[in-house]
């Protein structure tokens, strides 16, 4: 995946990485291999750490 199409984490200045937790408590899982209307890859976030772990091991 091309990093220039990954949305940047405004706190770090880098693309999001798996396991990053935002201020709302959501946990970043991955970028999807599809681009939205804004040109950036779509993202998959999980609401709980349990669901993150279940999805991450697949």
Terminus-to-terminus CA distance in the chain, angstroms?
19
Q: How far is CA 46 from the centre of its chain?
A: 9
Q: What pLDDT score was predicted for residue 23?
A: 94
Q: What pLDDT score was predicted for residue 36?
A: 96
Query: pLDDT digit string (tens) for 10-46?
Result: 999 999 999 999 999 999 999 999 999 999 999 999 9
- pLDDT-derived band at 57 (thresholds 50, 70, 90) equals confident
Please state the domain count of the chain.
1
- Taking residue 52's Cβ as centre, other Cβ atoms within 10 Å add up to 20
Against a cut of 0.85, is the pTM above it?
yes
Q: How far is CA 39 from the centre of its chain?
A: 15
Asked if residue 55 has pLDDT above 70, the reply is yes
Q: What pLDDT score was predicted for residue 58?
A: 67
* Cβ-based burial of 37 (10 A; exposed 0-12, middle 13-18, buried ≥19): exposed
Instruction: Quote the domain boundaries for residue 11.
Output: 3-56
């Amino acid at each position: 995946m091309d990093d220039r199409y990954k949305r940047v984490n405004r706190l770090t200045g880098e693309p999001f990485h798996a396991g990053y937790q935002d201020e709302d408590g959501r946990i970043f899982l991955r970028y999807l291999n599809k681009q939205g209307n804004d040109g950036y890859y779509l993202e998959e976030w999980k609401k709980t750490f349990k669901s993150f772990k279940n999805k991450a091991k697949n």
